[in-house]
């Protein structure tokens, strides 16, 4: 039992170490800084530049967070502060259900619903009305784009952010609420001025947890984002996130020299980024709950 | 009307819109899968393996993927439960500082992307000289399920009243006997829920089995052979240009969604039903 517990505790460093060992031949080829910032990805010539993939991941994830955070927080506030009990009891299982849907199903939904929506409605509309904003230039006719990836990811992180945020908001002591309302504040004033301020570290942690979930998500994103190794210039461009890079190329990775090292290095980058963000969020969350209680 | 009341109304409106967006997107996803999957689903899909010419639209079904997924997730859940229960029980006896560290580590593991588990499983398999196989898939999935299960089991074990443990120690039971006969029995509903949570996560995951389990048209027969899985059946069939095969991806997605939803409903029902036997 002790050995198993130690294994569970040491699994994260163990995974990092195993990936590092396999990725080392690549690090001997070129310095880490150069690998991360080079834009040339030509495995056959031995050039492995991760920059387009890193940028792709960041674009999709940031867009997903921009889309997901406002409705999630409003939803969490509504559930914690406004919703009558029966409604809350009815909605929370639904949110949990959303969390349990497999990622390929999200991906399938994305290709059937979101991609056509982007291709037939949003991109043409932006093309005629918002042409002057470079971020919204629509010259990719396929619909498989950063935007489609962002929408699908946003829906995927809904349950993560909502359930965590709702929990920390509810952990704020009732005495504070009563005191604020007794001064004649409206409910929203109470939420804005007192409850949210008190729950802020926890709410930030909820957002960061959502971010790290989105950052490493693979299948759903890869099915809708287009997978073109370029640096996207507009949200209607295709991108190629790190996770999709790994999943798309596992087949040929043993046949090209150093390819396996490169893909496992990509996995290591994902792991380390997610690790930093989750650790920060978890520590903040523990603090927040302890402080609120 | 005063400004503060206007503001109240405005934000309440936004909140209700957000609720509609969130619940609506869930219904939209389920609706899409149902509407596209149901017409494509027939008895042959569920009872046959792919026959010759299946990937060009000829006959056959996804029985290979259904049985493969059950074998993968079942094996992984069993392995993960055995390891996880030991860890969860041990956590109860650790000093609070160590328990805190292990819990933090499990929470971090929970957030590790499944593609990373796949990559790690792959390095393990290279180390052991395994090729992509049921066993490899089970190892990767078991690791993926471990944090979910341990944290869920840990939560219920923490809720067992201390007096019960005291009473057990007082009649001369050892720590091990107390753990197995009192803690586990008392926490049974929660433990089952934990198992079902793990099973649900394992059966739906694609990225980790992509590297480790491979894919095949045959039924799973050996731990050392590749197996098919439902998520990958959806993914691969969706990627083909043949419309009939894409239809089958929708059907496979419907089967997968139905299994996952059934597991999560079962978890809810079981935990409510079994809670009646718990001493409070």
* Tens digit of each residue's pLDDT (9 = 90 or more) over B96-134: 888 888 988 998 898 899 999 999 998 898 888 888 889
Q: Is the pLDDT of residue B278 over 70?
A: no
Predicted confidence band of residue B230 (pLDDT cuts 50, 70, 90): very high
Q: Are B33 and B253 in contact (CB under 8 A)?
A: yes
Of A169, A181, A145, nearest to A72 by C-alpha is A169
Predicted confidence band of residue B279 (pLDDT cuts 50, 70, 90): low
CB atoms B18 and A4 under 8 Å: no
User: How distant is the Cα of A129 from the closest Cα of chain B, in angstroms?
Assistant: 25
Count H helices, E strands: chain A? 14, 2
Q: Is the pLDDT of residue B91 over 80?
A: yes
User: How distant is the Cα of A199 from the closest Cα of chain B, in angstroms?
Assistant: 18
Tens-digit pLDDT profile for residues A211-266: 988 988 889 999 999 888 888 888 888 999 999 999 888 777 777 778 888 899 99
* Coil, strand or helix at B192: helix
Per CB-CB distance under 8 Å, the chain A contacts of B211 are: 250
CB atoms A275 and B11 under 8 Å: no
Amino acid A47: pLDDT: 82
* Coil, strand or helix at B160: coil
ipTM over 0.85: yes
Nearest to B102 among A5, A158, A271 (CB): A5
Q: Are B76 and B141 in contact (CB under 8 A)?
A: yes
User: How distant is the Cα of B12 from the closest Cα of chain A, in angstroms?
Assistant: 8
User: How distant is the Cα of A104 from the closest Cα of chain B, in angstroms?
Assistant: 6
Amino acid A36: pLDDT: 85
Q: Scanning every residue of chain A, which has its alpha carbon at the shortest distance from the alpha carbon of B212?
A: A250
Q: Is the pLDDT of residue B34 over 90?
A: yes
Task: Please give the residue that has the higher pLDDT: either A252 or B34.
Answer: B34
Amino acid A283: pLDDT: 85
Contacts of B139 (CB under 8 A, 6+ apart): B76, B79, B121, B124, B125, B212
Per CB-CB distance under 8 Å, the chain B contacts of A188 are: 4, 7-8, 11-12
Amino acid B274: pLDDT: 67
Predicted confidence band of residue B280 (pLDDT cuts 50, 70, 90): low
Which residue out of B111, B155, B245 would a mutagenesis test of the A interface target, given it has the greatest number of A Cβ atoms within 10 Å? B111
CB atoms B113 and A271 under 8 Å: yes
**Which structure tokens are listed for B201?**
């996560």
Distance CA(B200)–CA(B259), nearest Å, equals 8
**Which structure tokens are listed for B166?**
């005291």
Nearest to A102 among B146, B147, B256 (CB): B256
**Which structure tokens are listed for A123?**
């991109």
Q: Can you give the pTM of this predicted structure?
A: 0.91
Nearest to B32 among A82, A109, A275 (CB): A109
**Which structure tokens are listed for A50?**
């991760």
Q: Scanning every residue of chain A, which has its alpha carbon at the shortest distance from the alpha carbon of B146?
A: A8
Nearest to B111 among A8, A93, A278 (CB): A278
Distance CA(B160)–CA(B273), nearest Å, equals 18
Predicted confidence band of residue B149 (pLDDT cuts 50, 70, 90): very high
Name the superfamily (CATH) of residues A52-292.
Answer: MetI-like (1.10.3720.10)
Tens-digit pLDDT profile for residues B37-83: 998 888 877 878 887 667 776 777 788 899 999 999 999 999 999 99
Distance CA(B237)–CA(B64), nearest Å, equals 14
CB atoms B207 and A94 under 8 Å: no
Distance CA(A66)–CA(B241), nearest Å, equals 34
Q: How many CB atoms lie within 10 A of CB B156?
A: 21
Q: Scanning every residue of chain B, which has its alpha carbon at the shortest distance from the alpha carbon of A157?
A: B22
CB atoms B119 and A246 under 8 Å: yes
| Spans of chain A below 50 pLDDT | none
Per CB-CB distance under 8 Å, the chain A contacts of B268 are: 93
* Coil, strand or helix at B214: coil
Average pLDDT, rounded, for chain B: 87
Q: Scanning every residue of chain A, which has its alpha carbon at the shortest distance from the alpha carbon of B17?
A: A71
Amino acid B189: pLDDT: 81
Per-domain residue ranges of chain A: 52-292
DSSP assignment string, A193-226: IIIHHHHHHHHHHHHHHHHHHHHH--HHHHHHSB
Q: Are B228 and B66 in contact (CB under 8 A)?
A: no
Distance CA(A46)–CA(A33), nearest Å, equals 16
User: How distant is the Cα of A272 from the closest Cα of chain B, in angstroms?
Assistant: 9
DSSP assignment string, A136-154: G----TT--SHHHHHHHHH
């Amino acid at each position: 039992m002790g050995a198993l517990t130690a294994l569970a505790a040491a699994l994260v460093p163990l995974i990092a170490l195993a990936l590092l060992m396999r990725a080392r031949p690549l690090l001997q080829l070129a310095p880490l800084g150069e690998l991360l910032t080079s834009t040339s990805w030509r495995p056959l010539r031995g050039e492995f530049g991760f920059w387009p993939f890193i940028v792709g991941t960041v674009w999709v994830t940031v867009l997903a967070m921009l889309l997901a955070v406002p409705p999630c927080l409003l939803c969490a506030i509504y559930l914690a502060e406004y919703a009558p009990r029966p409604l809350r009891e009815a909605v929370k299982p639904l949110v949990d259900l959303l969390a349990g849907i497999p990622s390929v199903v999200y991906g399938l939904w994305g290709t059937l619903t979101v991609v056509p929506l982007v291709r037939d409605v949003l991109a043409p509309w932006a093309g005629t009305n918002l042409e002057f904003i470079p971020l919204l230039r629509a010259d990719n006719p396929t619909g498989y784009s950063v935007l489609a990836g962002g929408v699908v990811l946003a829906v995927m992180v809904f349950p993560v952010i909502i359930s965590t945020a709702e929990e920390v908001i509810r952990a704020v002591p009732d005495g504070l609420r009563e005191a604020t309302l007794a001064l004649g504040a409206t409910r929203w004033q109470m939420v804005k001025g007192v409850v949210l301020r008190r729950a802020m570290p926890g709410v930030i942690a909820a957002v960061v947890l959502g971010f790290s979930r989105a950052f490493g998500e693979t299948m759903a994103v890869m099915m809708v984002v287009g997978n073109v190794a370029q640096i996207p210039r507009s949200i209607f461009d295709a991108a190629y996130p790190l996770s999709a890079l790994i999943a798309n190329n596992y087949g040929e990775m043993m046949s090209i020299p150093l390819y396996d090292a490169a893909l496992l290095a990509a996995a290591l980058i994902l792991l380390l980024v997610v690790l930093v963000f989750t650790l920060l969020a978890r520590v903040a969350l523990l603090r927040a709950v302890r402080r609120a209680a | 009307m005063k400004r503060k009341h206007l503001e109240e109304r405005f934000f309440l409106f936004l909140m209700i819109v957000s609720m509609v967006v969130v619940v609506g997107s869930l219904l939209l996803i389920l609706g899409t899968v149902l509407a596209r999957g149901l017409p494509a689903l027939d008895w042959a899909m569920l009872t046959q393996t792919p026959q010759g010419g299946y990937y060009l639209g000829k006959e056959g079904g996804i029985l290979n993927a259904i049985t493969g997924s059950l074998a993968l997730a079942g094996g992984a859940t069993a392995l993960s439960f055995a390891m996880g229960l030991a860890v969860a029980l041990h956590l109860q006896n650790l000093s609070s500082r160590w328990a805190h560290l292990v819990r933090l580590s499990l929470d971090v593991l929970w957030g590790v992307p499944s593609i990373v588990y796949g990559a790690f499983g792959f390095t393990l398999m290279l180390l052991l000289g395994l090729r992509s196989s049921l066993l490899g898939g089970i190892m990767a999935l078991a690791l993926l399920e471990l944090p979910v299960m341990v944290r869920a089991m840990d939560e219920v074990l923490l809720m067992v009243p201390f007096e019960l443990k005291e009473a057990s120690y007082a009649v001369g039971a050892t720590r091990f006997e107390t753990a197995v006969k009192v803690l586990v029995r008392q926490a049974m509903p929660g433990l089952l829920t934990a198992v079902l949570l793990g099973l649900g996560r394992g059966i739906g995951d694609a990225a980790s089995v992509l590297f480790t389990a491979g894919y095949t048209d045959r039924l799973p027969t050996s731990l050392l052979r590749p197996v098919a899985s439902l998520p990958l059946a959806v993914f691969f069939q969706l990627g083909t240009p043949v419309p009939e095969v894409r239809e089958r991806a929708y059907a496979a997605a419907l089967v997968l969604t139905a299994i996952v939803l059934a597991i999560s409903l079962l978890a809810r029902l079981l935990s409510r039903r079994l809670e009646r036997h718990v001493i409070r």
